[in-house]
Chain A
Amino acid sequence: MGAVAAVNIRKTFGDVDAVSGISLTVHDGEFMVLLGPSGCGKTTFLRIIAGLERQTGGDIEINGHVVNDLPPRARGIAMVFQSYGLYPHFTIRNNIAFPLRTQHTERAEILRKVTWAAQLLSIEHLLDRKPRQLSGGERQRVALARALVRDPSVFLLDEPLSNLDAKLRTSARNEIKQFQQRVATTTIYVTHDQVEAMGMGDRIAVIDHGKIRQVGTPAEIYDDPADRFVATFVGTPPMNLIGWNGGQLGFRPEHFLPKSMVNGGDATQFSFRVDRMEYLGAERIVYGAINGSESAQAVTAKLPLAHVPPGSIHPGEWNDFAVRNAALCYFDSDGRRARRH
C-alpha cells in the first residue's frame, strides 16, 4: 500500500551537500523516524520525498513507482509541517476541506470526510473557528486532520511537536502514535528529539551530515549503536567515552554502577572520583572522573535511588564502580564500532 524507498538520494545547495547519498526503505504501515541534529539534512530528505525539493541525484519510489517527476499532489503523500502551515484566513472546516476541494471532490463527500476526520481527532467543536483562535495542540490536530482526509498512502511529519510545550508534547506524542496505529498508514517522522524517536518509532534512522549512520529499532539503536555518533547522540546523559587502547570504550551511565551492585557475569572495574551529584527524583546523576590509562576522564553515572541510598556516595571520594562487559562498546580511532574486547 504505502512502501517508500529512497535510492542513493543526493541533494546539493550550491557547494553544500545537504543530503549525500541516503538509501532507505520504509515498509508499508511502518512508523519510521528520521533522527538527527539540526542541519543534518533530515528535513531536506523529507521534502525530497514529498516532492517539495528536487533531488540532485537518486530515485524516490512510492508503492514501487519511481515518483521523481511527479508533483507533490500526485505522490499520494500528506505532510504535517513544523508550524502546521494552516491557512490563517480559512475556518478549520475549510482548512481540512482544502485538499479535497483541490481534487474537485463532491460537496457531500467533502462534508462526510471532514466530519469523519474531525471526529477521529476530537476537533468537531472547533470547525467554525479560525486557526489563530486555537491552541498549539489543537492546531496540530487540525494539521493531522487535513493530512488525513486525502487518504494518503504515506504521512510525512516534519517535527510536528516542536512548537508544543513539554507537557503537551508528551500527550501529543501518544496521540500521534495511537492515531498512526489506528489508520495504519506508512509514516515518516522527522525529529531532533531522541525521546520522541525512541518512544514513537518502529524503526529509527539516525542521520548526520547528510548520511544515515544507523537504521534499526529503538532497542538496537540504544543498545547496539553502530558508531560513536549514534552512541553519543542517543541517550541522556550520553554514553560515556574513555580512551582505551588507541580507540574508545563506551558505556551507558545507567550501566556504570557501584561494584557491589554489579554481580554475575564478567565486569570491568573502574576507580571513580565523584565530583558532583544531581538529584532527579527517581534517580541521581553523578558526575566525576575515572582513573584510566590517560589522565582522569569525565564520566557520568545514573544511579537508581531505590538501590543506591543517598548517604552512600559523597563528592570528593574515590569509589569502586564497575560495568558488565556485555554492556561495553568499543570504537576504533575513526569512531566506528569495533568488535575486539
Chain B
Amino acid sequence: MGGGLAAIEQAMKVIAIEERPRRATWSWRFMRDRAEVLGPILLAPATLYILLLVAVPFLLAVYYALSAYTIYNPSYRFVGLSNFISVIQDDTFQQTLVNTFVFTLASLLIGLVLGKFGALLLLRPFPGRRIVRALIILPWAVPVALATVAWQWMFDSLYSVINWTMIALGLLTRADAPNWLGQPHLAMLCIVIVNAWRFFPFSIVIFLAGITAVPQDVLDAATVDGAGFWRRNYQIILPMIAPIVVVGLIFGVVFTFTDLSIVYLMTNGGPVNSTQVLGNLGFLIGITDGDVAHGAAISLFMFPVLLALVIVMLRSIRRHEI
C-alpha cells in the first residue's frame, strides 16, 4: 500500500514537471496572493465609476463648451474659444467669479475657526459630551434643502426670528430691521453663514481626529517646557495636524466652490446677482436658459481654479510632512 502511494506520488511529480499547463491552473488558487492580478481587479469598479461618471461628463462639457450647442439648436458647430471669451467679458460672470471666491473663503474660514474651538471644547470632559458630539454632526447630516429652507425663514423679510429676537431685546426697531436676503451684502453674509454652519461639523470632526492623534508625550513635553495654551495650540498642535486639516480644507474648497444648492434655494443669485456663484450661473444659463455651450464654458472655469488650489495645498502638505 505504502509502496503504491509512493509510486503515485512519484508519477505526480513527473507530471507536474512535464506538464506546464497544470502549473497554470494550479496558480489560480493563489491568485489572491498575487498583487499584479488582484490589484487591477479591485481597482476596476472605481476606475469604471470615474470613467463613466466623471471623465465622460467632463469631456462632454469640453465638447459643449467648444461648440454653439443650445437646446433650441442641438447641433455641433465648432466655435473654438469664443464661448469662453464672451463669458469672460460678461460683467455678470466677473461678479460671479468674485462672489464664488468670497463665498468659499469666508465660509470656510468661519467654519475652520468654529471647528477648531468646537473640537477643543468637545475634547474636554463634561456631562452629556457624547450626546453633544452626536448632535453637532446634524447640520452636516440634515438634507441641504431642508436646512436651507429653515434658514430662509429665519432670514425672511417679514417673519425673521432673528429680527424678532433683536426687536424683542430692544436692539432694533421694526423700522430699521434688516432685510437679510434683500440687500446685496447682507444676502452674501447670509449664504456665507449658512455654508459655514454646514461646514463646521465636518471641520470639528477633522480637528478632533487630528488633535486626538497628537501623542500625549508631545503635549506633556510642551507643558513642561513652559508652553501655555496659545503656544501649545499654535506652535505644536496646529503644525502637527496641518496635513489632516489641509485635506479637510481641500474637500471643503472643492465642495463649496462647486456648490449651487444653498444659493439656488435661498437667493437664486439675487439680489441683482450679488450672491451669484459659478455653479448656479452655469445651471441658470446652461439648463434653465438652454444655452448649453455657455453654461458648459462657465462650469469649466471652476476646473483650472480648483486644480491649481488642490496642487498648491497638496504641495504644502508634502513640505510640512512630519
A73 close to chain B: CB less than 8 A: yes
Stretch at the interface among B10-18, B67-75, B216-224, B279-287: B216-224
Is B218 within 8 A of A86, CB to CB? yes
Is A84 within 8 A of B217, CB to CB? yes
CB-CB under 8 A from B220, the residues of chain A are 47, 50, 52, 79, 81, 85
Contact check: which of B218, B223, B236, B240 meets A72 at CB < 8 Å? B223
Contact check: which of B225, B228, B240 meets A98 at CB < 8 Å? B225
Known: A79-B220, A81-B220, A85-B220. A99 touches B240 (CB 8 A): no
Which residues from 91 to 126 on chain A have a C-beta closer than 8 Å to any C-beta of chain B? Answer: 98-99, 102-103
CB-CB under 8 A from A86, the residues of chain B are 218, 221
With most chain A CB atoms within 10 A of its CB, the pick from B215, B219, B224, B322 is B224
- A81 vs B220: C-alpha distance in the bound complex, in angstroms? 9
**Considering only CB atoms, which chain A residue lies closest to B223 in the complex?**
A72
Chain B, residues 290-322, CB within 8 Å of chain A (1/0): the string is 000000000000000000000000000000101
- How near does chain B come to A211, taking the closest CB pair, in angstroms? 25
A87 close to chain B: CB less than 8 A: yes
Is B222 within 8 A of A87, CB to CB? yes
Which residues from 140 to 167 on chain B have a C-beta closer than 8 Å to any C-beta of chain A? Answer: none
Is A89 within 8 A of B217, CB to CB? no
CB-CB under 8 A from B224, the residues of chain A are 50-52, 72-73, 77-79, 99
CB-CB under 8 A from B219, the residues of chain A are 85
Which residues from 222 to 236 on chain B have a C-beta closer than 8 Å to any C-beta of chain A? Answer: 222-228, 231, 236
**Considering only CB atoms, which chain B residue lies closest to A83 in the complex?**
B217
Is B225 within 8 A of A132, CB to CB? no
Pair count A-B, CB < 8 A: 67
- A82 vs B223: C-alpha distance in the bound complex, in angstroms? 16
- A146 vs B218: C-alpha distance in the bound complex, in angstroms? 13
CB-CB under 8 A from A209, the residues of chain B are none
CB-CB under 8 A from A146, the residues of chain B are 221, 225
Is A102 within 8 A of B322, CB to CB? no
CB-CB under 8 A from B218, the residues of chain A are 85-88
Chain A, residues 323-334, CB within 8 Å of chain B (1/0): the string is 000000000000
Is B231 within 8 A of A89, CB to CB? no
- A150 vs B226: C-alpha distance in the bound complex, in angstroms? 10
CB-CB under 8 A from A173, the residues of chain B are none
A336 close to chain B: CB less than 8 A: no
Is B226 within 8 A of A85, CB to CB? no
Is B226 within 8 A of A103, CB to CB? yes
What's the tally of chain A residues with a CB closer than 8 Å to chain B? Answer: 27
Known: A52-B223, A89-B239, A146-B225. A81 touches B217 (CB 8 A): yes
CB-CB under 8 A from B236, the residues of chain A are 87
Is A102 within 8 A of B223, CB to CB? no
- A102 vs B221: C-alpha distance in the bound complex, in angstroms? 12
Is B217 within 8 A of A102, CB to CB? no
A54 close to chain B: CB less than 8 A: no
Majority-rule SS of A interface residues: loop
- A78 vs B220: C-alpha distance in the bound complex, in angstroms? 11
CB-CB under 8 A from B227, the residues of chain A are 73, 98, 102
- A327 vs B221: C-alpha distance in the bound complex, in angstroms? 45
- A86 vs B224: C-alpha distance in the bound complex, in angstroms? 12
Is B240 within 8 A of A89, CB to CB? yes
CB-CB under 8 A from B322, the residues of chain A are 88-89, 130, 132
CB-CB under 8 A from B239, the residues of chain A are 89
With most chain B CB atoms within 10 A of its CB, the pick from A78, A83, A87, A99 is A87
- How near does chain B come to A334, taking the closest CB pair, in angstroms? 38
CB-CB under 8 A from B240, the residues of chain A are 87-89
Is A81 within 8 A of B221, CB to CB? yes
CB-CB under 8 A from A51, the residues of chain B are 224
- A87 vs B223: C-alpha distance in the bound complex, in angstroms? 12
Is B226 within 8 A of A102, CB to CB? yes
CB-CB under 8 A from A99, the residues of chain B are 224-226
CB-CB under 8 A from B231, the residues of chain A are 102
- How near does chain B come to A79, taking the closest CB pair, in angstroms? 5
- How near does chain A come to B7, taking the closest CB pair, in angstroms? 45
**Considering only CB atoms, which chain B residue lies closest to A81 in the complex?**
B217
CB-CB under 8 A from A72, the residues of chain B are 223-224, 226
- How near does chain A come to B125, taking the closest CB pair, in angstroms? 12
- A84 vs B224: C-alpha distance in the bound complex, in angstroms? 13
**Considering only CB atoms, which chain A residue lies closest to B240 in the complex?**
A89
Known: A73-B224, A79-B224, A102-B231. A85 touches B320 (CB 8 A): no
- A280 vs B231: C-alpha distance in the bound complex, in angstroms? 53
Chain A, residues 153-183, CB within 8 Å of chain B (1/0): the string is 0000000000000000000000000000000
- How near does chain B come to A159, taking the closest CB pair, in angstroms? 11
- A83 vs B231: C-alpha distance in the bound complex, in angstroms? 21
**Considering only CB atoms, which chain A residue lies closest to B214 in the complex?**
A88
- A144 vs B97: C-alpha distance in the bound complex, in angstroms? 54
Which residues from 187 to 205 on chain A have a C-beta closer than 8 Å to any C-beta of chain B? Answer: none
CB-CB under 8 A from A47, the residues of chain B are 220
CB-CB under 8 A from B217, the residues of chain A are 81-85
- How near does chain A come to B221, taking the closest CB pair, in angstroms? 3
Chain B, residues 53-68, CB within 8 Å of chain A (1/0): the string is 0000000000000000
A-B contact pairs, 22 of them (CB 8 A): A47-B220, A72-B223, A73-B225, A73-B227, A77-B224, A79-B221, A79-B224, A81-B221, A84-B217, A85-B219, A85-B220, A87-B218, A87-B222, A87-B240, A88-B322, A89-B239, A89-B240, A89-B322, A99-B224, A102-B225, A102-B228, A146-B225
Contact surface of A with B, Cβ cutoff 8 Å: 47, 50-52, 71-73, 77-79, 81-89, 98-99, 102-103, 130, 132, 146, 150
Would you list the 3 A-B pairs with minimal beta carbon distance, nearest first?
A85-B221, A102-B226, A73-B226
Known: A73-B227, A81-B217, A103-B226. 4 other contacts (CB 8 A): A52-B223, A86-B218, A99-B225, A146-B221
